[in-house]
Amino acid sequence: MAEGGAVDLDIQWSDIATLLKTSLRKGDTWYLVDSHWFKQWKKYGWNKLVSWYTLMEGQEPIARKVVEQGMFVKHCKVEVCLTELKLCENGNMNNVVTRRFSKADTIDTIEKEIKIFNIPDEKETRLWNKYMSNMFEPLNKPDSTIQDAGLYQGQVLVIEQKNEDGTWPRGPSTPKSPGASNFSTLPKISPSSLSNNYNNINNRNVKNSNYCLPSYTAYKNYDYSEPGRKN
């Protein structure tokens, strides 16, 4: 239990019930708690649980962002599964590292992460979206999100370092493929199978989340439809 003992269950019920009624807003953070209980908790509700029950030593909370979905009618949804992107260097595309990102993460965030390839922070770099062996698209809007850029599961991103003489190995920052001068303006449609994979909940992470709070058994069995009553 947290210091000072647990707060009365009726007070917990009142606080959490109010927070659970909060509408989803783009950019908000929610936390995964349990796959059979409440699947997601708003950040402020999660913080209350941690203050009441603490975290297990070495346990990392599973935080997820609220993103907008829908082509014509937008609606907010907690992004349970992150997007896997494959990262590599322009000079060695066989060395691929996979990282997971939120659709709310920006191109700038990816570029900083991809510098794990021992690239100095002061080194000027560019990021490219690789579609085929000879087809690349520049990702030159650092504030653009993964969702805005149309990146999908399994996409390969290539980082390029500027030469000492001020030139770029790939030349001008334009799409590189025969007859693809307007390629960057085409809509990007991810395969349905990739979309389905994205929507499948990462069971391993969700199961692990059950153990984030070591002392919440009594709280988990609490009946939220009627204060003071247990299941």
> pLDDT averaged over the chain?
72
Domain segments of the chain: what residues?
9-79+201-220, 83-199
Higher pLDDT, 4 or 164: 164
Query: Other CB atoms closer than 10 Å to residue 44's CB: what's the count?
Result: 14
Once rounded to an integer, what is the mean pLDDT over residues 79-86? 88
Nearest to 26 by CA among 94, 75, 84, 85: 75
Position 87: which residue type? L
Residue 198 confidence (pLDDT) above 50: no
Which residue matches tokens 């990392």? 60
Confidence bin at 133 (pLDDT 50/70/90): confident
- Among 34-43, 96-105, 142-151, 179-188, the least confident range: 179-188
- Whether 54 and 213 have beta carbons less than 8 Å apart is answered as yes
Instruction: Give the domain 9-79+201-220 fold.
Output: DUSP-like (3.30.2230)
Fold agreement between 9-79+201-220 and 83-199: no
Higher pLDDT, 139 or 39: 139
CATH of 83-199, one of 3.40.50.880, 3.40.309.10, 3.10.20.90, 3.40.640.10: 3.10.20.90
